[in-house]
Amino acid sequence: MAVLLIAGSPTERSRSAALLDAVAQRLQFRGVQSEKLLIRDLSPQALILADFGHPTISQAVGRVAKADVVVVATPVYKAAYSGVLKVFLDLLPQTGLQGKTVLPLATGGSPNHMLALDYALRPVLQSLGAKHILPGIYATDAQVAVTESGAYEVSAEIGLRLDEAVDTLIRDVLPAAEVHTKRFAPVHFSQVRCSV
């Protein structure tokens, strides 16, 4: 299972990036590796000018294409997801998320912007052909607090919701055959014994 974590914050350290890190840790704990794509590291000029041929853009779009699962995290600005994320999503092909499971994450100053996930981000993800969009997780500034050392710490409540989301991702995306082969070795029919 290929998991791509997309950081849609224009700043290097942010609460939405902390949510992504928390998801990555939970995936790793369950034996699933993930990669992170920081949109802020892509060429700003190529993003704004929609330069599809620019190496950073074509590589980023290719990484999305290879992923089975995409986790998108964004801060909420002006009751919508970040402009940096918007510009990147606009560069994806119309079927850029086709067949993929997507987990949207967002952070904002207050609970008042919680609906930005459903009314702003979810329609764009659906228009890009996502197979399954999990219920989004929204965290306020108080739920992703800054510690004395300057790091971000996810609250227990948000941590539980992230646990559930990661469990759902793994359950929904891992093919049933893969789950069975991990538990039982295949048995050839000639080895089957039955008594009557």
Mean pLDDT for the chain overall: 89
Cα separations in angstroms, 124 against 5, 43, 67, 155, 158: 17, 22, 18, 28, 24
Average pLDDT over residues 76-100: 94
Average pLDDT over residues 107-121: 88
Q: Tell me, what amino acid is at 143?
A: Q
Beta pairing partners, 72: 6, 104
Rounded-to-integer distance, Cα 191 and Cα 119, Å: 56
Looking at per-residue confidence, does 138 or 195 come out higher? 138
Domains and their CATH numbers in the chain: 3-191 (3.40.50.360)
Q: How confident is the model at residue 94 (pLDDT cuts 50, 70, 90)?
A: very high
Average pLDDT over residues 51-59: 95
Structure confidence at residue 183 (pLDDT): 47
Q: The whole model's pTM is what?
A: 0.85
Residue the block writes with tokens 């890009």: 128
Average pLDDT over residues 58-87: 95
Structure confidence at residue 140 (pLDDT): 94
- Compute φ and ψ for 86, nearest 5 degrees: -60, -45
